[in-house]
Amino acid sequence: MPSAKGDGSTRVNGSNGSNGSNGVISIGKNSFKLQETSTEMKIWATDSNGRIAPINITNGSKLLIDGRDVEQSINNVGALSAALTGLPTVPTETNLACGLGTGTHGGDFAFSGGCASKVNENLSINYAASMTIPGQDYAGDFEDTFSARAGFVWKLGKSLKPTQIGLKDEKIIHEKISILEKNNEILKAKNDEIISQNQKLLSRLENLEHIALKFQSNPDLISATTKD
């Protein structure tokens, strides 16, 4: 059992604990070390050979700092950051763009929302926030489950306006349309010519049909024509 000494230090009694001359408290054969200084409390562990060993929180126990689960806090940070990456930072082809996002890390989930706004041709601003799913154990205060960002994008250097490229493309499109219109006029003229020829042929066929009907209805006319 621990016992208090007159100098204010603590000794761990028994075969599984010792207090060294340098003020380090050792607990267990594979020692868990504690050392208090004027500014901090040091904690570390060594194995049976005296080498530094990891401190492993096992059997489902949680490491809490100020009531916050450390592992869960790390996972929350990853989920909050991942959710923010799914939101727009610069609007394209519009003055305002908004979005929703989600992210996950280590089994924890977060949702986000934010917007990006174009102030002018050179300046764009963006703002967003993300939040983890409520109801987590040992989540801590609200600020431990909430994350936000804000920023701006300022274009430097010579501006390459998309409208300049659009004007070139528009000129090419107009030239192609003009060529198509000319080809269409040529095809229309040829089509009108073919229609006119068909009408003439149809008229001739109608005349031939009319003459044939006359001969068929008057056989004597056929004989007279043959004699002539």
pLDDT tens profile 11-44: 454 445 556 657 788 887 778 889 888 899 999 9
Confidence (pLDDT) at 155: 85
- Closest Cα partner for 36 from 26, 25, 47, 46? 25
pLDDT tops 60 at residue 1: no
Confidence (pLDDT) at 127: 94
Please enumerate in sequence order all residues whose Cβ is within 8 A of that of 153, keeping only pairs 6 or more positions apart, or say none. Answer: 89, 90, 123, 124, 125, 126
User: Cα–Cα distance between 84 and 103 in angstroms, integer?
Assistant: 8
Please give the mean pLDDT across all residues of the chain: 81
Would you state the torsion angle of the CA atoms of residues 17, 20, 25, 26, taken in this order, to the nearest 10 degrees?
-40
Q: CA end-to-end span of the chain, whole Å?
A: 152
- Band (pLDDT 50/70/90 cuts) for residue 93 is confident
Asked whether 115 and 140 are in contact (CB, 8 A), the reply is: no
The alpha-helical segments, DSSP class H, found in the chain are 70-84, 162-217, 219-227
The tally of CA atoms less than 13 A away on the side-chain side of residue 49 is 3
H/E element holding 101? strand 96-105
Residue 193 vs residue 11, higher pLDDT: 193
- Band (pLDDT 50/70/90 cuts) for residue 5 is very low
Question: pTM for this structure?
Answer: 0.54
Please enumerate in sequence order all residues whose Cβ is within 8 A of that of 29, keeping only pairs 6 or more positions apart, or say none. Answer: 16, 48
What is the biggest distance separating any 2 CA atoms in the chain, rounded to whole angstroms? Answer: 161
What number of H helices and E strands is found in the chain?
A: 3, 13
- Band (pLDDT 50/70/90 cuts) for residue 68 is confident
Q: How remote is the C-alpha of 97 from its chain's centroid?
A: 13
The phi-psi region of residue 212 (left if phi > 0; otherwise alpha if psi is between -120 and 50; otherwise beta) is: alpha
